[in-house]
Amino acid sequence: MSKALATRYAKALLENLKEHKRDFERAYSELKKIAQALEANPLLFRYLSQPVVPRKDRLEMGKVLAEDLGLSTPLRNFILILIEKERIGFLKLIIEEFRRLADEALGQVRGKVRTARPLTSQDLSRLSRSFQELVGRKVVLEVEEDPSIIGGVVTLLGGVVFDGSIRGNLERIKEKLIEG
């Protein structure tokens, strides 16, 4: 039920942003900023999510939070709706669904790349273009350093793992040698 609810709110936000020609990336950034603020202050989160706290007081605190974070009008209104409807507890799920729906609307897919060393922007662009040709959509990659892979890259894209690491190759060779 909670995922369906999160999807409904994420779709509503996305449609509102489309209608008013707003930037999805900025909205996503603001959503993350809200989540980080609430995570950093569990008492504030509890206050905003408790039905026993009068709605008017929760909304006033939500307005203060929105102002302190410098939220745009659409995100300010969105967070106040979540507080009013007692849905602020679904914020993390809503953010995940918003990211997925926004990527879909933009015709792109996200992936994670693990490398043993930092990638140059040129390397990242080349890797992104290669995967773009493979999947037929724009690919946005997030890079994570992991020295344990020794060299090469391991990419997770759309639930599929592409292991081009030295460690992965060594493990495949080991398996072949064991098999005979």
* Strand spans (E) along the chain: 108-115, 138-145, 152-157, 160-165
pLDDT, average across residues 69-87:
96
pLDDT at 151: 78
> Tens digits of per-residue pLDDT, 29-71?
999 999 999 999 999 999 999 999 999 999 999 999 999 999 9
pLDDT at 1: 58
pLDDT at 169: 67
User: How far is it, in rounded angstroms, from Cα 106 to Cα 19?
Assistant: 15
Phi, psi dihedral angles at 126 (to 5 degrees): -65, -45
**Average pLDDT value for the chain:** 90
Higher per-residue pLDDT: 153 or 17: 17
Pair 105, 18: CB distance under 8 Å: yes
User: How far is it, in rounded angstroms, from Cα 9 to Cα 2?
Assistant: 11
- Copy the structure tokens of residue 152: 């090469």
Residue with the two structure tokens 């449609």: 15
User: How far is it, in rounded angstroms, from Cα 114 to Cα 147?
Assistant: 9
pTM for this predicted structure: 0.78
Phi, psi dihedral angles at 96 (to 5 degrees): -60, -45
- Copy the structure tokens of residue 9: 């709110």
Q: At what angle do helices 24-40 and 91-106 cross, to 10 degrees?
A: 160
Q: At what angle do helices 2-19 and 73-84 cross, to 10 degrees?
A: 150
Pair 86, 111: CB distance under 8 Å: no
Lowest mean pLDDT among 27-36, 81-90, 159-168: 159-168
Q: Residue 103, exposed/middle/buried by CB under 10 A (0-12, 13-18, 19+)? A: middle
Q: Does the structure show a pLDDT above 90 at 9?
A: yes
